[in-house]
C-alpha cells in the first residue's frame, strides 16, 4: 500500500494485469482496466491493483488496446527533463558498450527494451531517423529529440539532422496522424539537412540510405552481424539471395568471396537499388539482380545450381490470427530451398516476426527438412544485433530468428 499522496490519476487493474506487471511486462490492456480516473491522452498515470498496491507509473493511451505502458517501478521517480536525459544517456552508453565502432550506424532507442515505449530511433551516419508509435512518446518528443541530439553531439558524434518516419498505419490506432519530415532542430543551431540520403559503411560495405523513402526508418540494421556470418561462409560458393531488398546479404556474400551471387526481389525498385549498391562497392562483376517472385522462381531452378541459399523474407505475419498461413509460407520456401541445394550445401534462413516463435519456427524447419528428404547440420543459431536488445520479460522484443545450416 502506498503511503504518500501522488499527483497522477489512478488506473485500477485486474489481478491478471497485476501479475503481468509484477513479472516485468510493461503493458496494461484496455480490458484489464477496472477503473480509471479522468486524464489526458498521453499523460502519466499510476497503476494500482484491486488490493491497493502500487504497480508502477506509465503513459496512458486512451484510443489504443494497450491502455497504459508502464515505464517506472520506482515510486521516487520524478518525470522531469533530467529523468529523460538519464534514460537517453543509459541507452547511448549501452550502444557504445555493445556496438563499439559500429555506433555510427545502429539503433539507439528500441522502444520497450530501452523503456521508451513506442519510440524507435536509428542512426545512419550524420542522420537520425525516428518513428513514434505511442501517444505518450508523441507528447514527449519535443523533450526527447533535442536532448538526444544534444547528448550525441556533446559526446563527439556528428549529428546533423533528425527525420521523422511517422508514415505508418499503426499510429492511427493511437489516434495519431501519419506524416514524415524533418524535425526542427534550429533551437540547437542546426539547419535542415539538404538531403535525406545518408552514407553508411557496414561490414566494410558502403550503402546509401534514404531516410525519407527507405523501408522502416531507412535500412534494416538488425541483421548486421548475421550478414557478416554469411560472408564468412560464402568464399568460392554460388549464392542465391532471396528477398534481397537492397542487396545487403548478397553484397556481404560477394565481398566474402562468392564466385557468383544472384539477388532476387519482387520489387524492381529494390533490385535497382541493389544494383547501385553493387556498383558502388565494385561487386557488379559477381552480383546480378533479378526482379522476380521468389515463390514462383524457386520451382523453376534445377538442383545444385546454387550451393548457398539465403532466405530473408519479410514478416509473413503481423498478427497471431494469420500465423498458420505464415508458417505455411515459411515452410514452402524452406522446403524448396533444401531440395535445390546439393548435399553439403548451405542454407541461411530467418524470420522477423515475433508471432512466429523460436519453437514454432524450428518445428517448421524440421517439417520442411523431412519433406525435402534432408538432414540439417546446424552451424549457428543467431538473433538480432545487440543494438536491438531482447528484454526477457517482454517477448515482443525477441523477434528475429536466424539459422545457418549445412544440408546433409
362 tagged catalytic? no
What is the SS3 assignment for 72? strand
Q: Which one of the listed residues 39, 350, 352, 362 is annotated catalytic?
A: 352
Distance CA 194, CA 63 (A): 37
In sequence order, the 6+-apart residues with CB closer than 8 A to the CB of 213 are: 196
Distance CA 136, CA 8 (A): 14
**DSSP alpha helix (H) spans, 25-181:** 81-99, 135-154
Say how far residue 55 (Cα) sits from the centre of its chain.
29
Closest to 345 measured CA to CA, from 285, 382, 291, 301? 301
- Could you count the other beta carbons within 10 Å of the beta carbon of residue 142? 12
405, 349 contact by CB (below 8 A): yes
Distance CA 19, CA 38 (A): 24
DSSP H or E segment with residue 27: strand 27-29
Residues identified as active-site: 352
Amino acid at each position: 500500500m502506498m503511503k504518500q499522496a501522488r499527483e497522477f490519476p489512478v488506473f485500477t487493474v485486474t489481478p491478471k494485469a497485476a501479475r503481468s506487471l509484477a513479472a516485468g511486462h510493461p503493458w496494461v490492456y484496455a480490458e484489464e482496466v477496472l477503473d480509471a480516473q479522468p486524464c489526458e491522452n498521453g499523460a502519466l498515470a499510476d497503476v494500482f491493483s484491486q488490493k491497493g498496491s502500487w504497480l508502477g507509473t506509465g503513459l496512458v493511451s486512451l484510443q489504443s488496446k494497450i491502455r497504459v505502458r508502464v515505464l517506472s517501478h520506482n515510486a521516487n521517480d520524478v518525470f522531469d527533463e533530467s529523468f529523460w536525459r538519464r534514460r537517453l544517456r543509459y541507452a547511448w552508453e549501452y550502444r557504445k558498450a555493445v556496438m563499439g565502432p559500429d555506433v555510427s550506424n545502429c539503433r539507439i532507442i528500441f522502444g520497450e527494451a530501452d523503456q521508451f515505449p513506442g519510440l524507435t530511433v536509428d542512426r545512419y551516419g550524420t542522420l537520425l531517423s525516428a518513428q513514434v508509435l505511442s501517444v505518450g512518446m508523441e507528447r514527449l518528443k519535443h523533450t526527447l529529440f533535442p536532448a538526444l541530439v544534444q547528448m550525441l553531439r556533446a559526446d563527439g558524434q556528428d549529428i546533423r539532422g533528425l527525420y521523422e518516419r511517422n508514415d505508418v498505419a499503426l499510429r492511427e490506432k493511437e489516434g495519431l496522424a501519419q506524416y514524415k519530415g524533418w524535425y526542427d532542430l534550429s533551437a540547437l543551431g542546426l539547419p535542415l539537412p539538404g538531403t535525406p540520403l545518408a552514407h553508411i559503411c557496414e561490414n566494410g560495405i558502403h550503402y546509401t540510405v534514404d531516410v525519407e523513402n527507405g523501408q522502416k526508418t531507412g535500412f534494416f540494421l538488425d541483421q548486421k552481424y548475421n550478414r557478416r556470418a554469411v560472408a564468412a561462409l560464402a568464399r568460392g560458393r554460388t549464392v542465391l539471395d532471396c528477398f534481397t531488398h537492397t542487396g545487403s546479404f548478397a553484397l556481404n556474400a560477394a565481398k566474402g568471396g562468392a564466385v557468383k551471387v544472384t539477388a532476387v526481389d519482387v520489387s524492381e525498385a529494390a533490385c535497382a537499388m541493389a544494383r547501385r549498391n553493387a556498383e558502388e562497392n565494385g561487386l557488379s562483376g559477381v552480383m546480378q539482380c533479378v526482379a522476380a517472385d521468389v515463390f514462383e522462381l524457386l520451382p523453376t531452378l534445377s538442383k545444385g545450381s546454387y550451393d548457398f541459399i539465403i532466405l530473408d523474407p519479410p514478416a509473413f505475419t503481423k498478427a497471431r490470427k494469420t500465423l498458420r498461413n505464415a508458417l505455411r509460407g515459411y515452410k514452402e520456401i524452406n522446403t524448396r530451398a533444401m531440395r535445390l541445394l546439393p548435399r553439403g550445401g548451405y542454407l541461411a534462413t530467418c524470420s522477423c516476426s515475433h508471432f512466429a516463435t523460436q519453437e514454432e519456427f524450428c518445428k517448421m524447419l524440421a517439417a520442411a527438412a523431412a519433406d525435402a528428404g534432408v538432414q540439417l547440420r546446424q552451424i549457428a543459431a543467431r538473433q538480432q544485433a545487440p543494438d536491438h536488445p531482447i528484454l526477457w520479460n517482454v517477448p515482443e522484443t525477441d523477434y528475429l530468428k536466424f539459422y545457418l545450416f549445412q544440408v546433409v
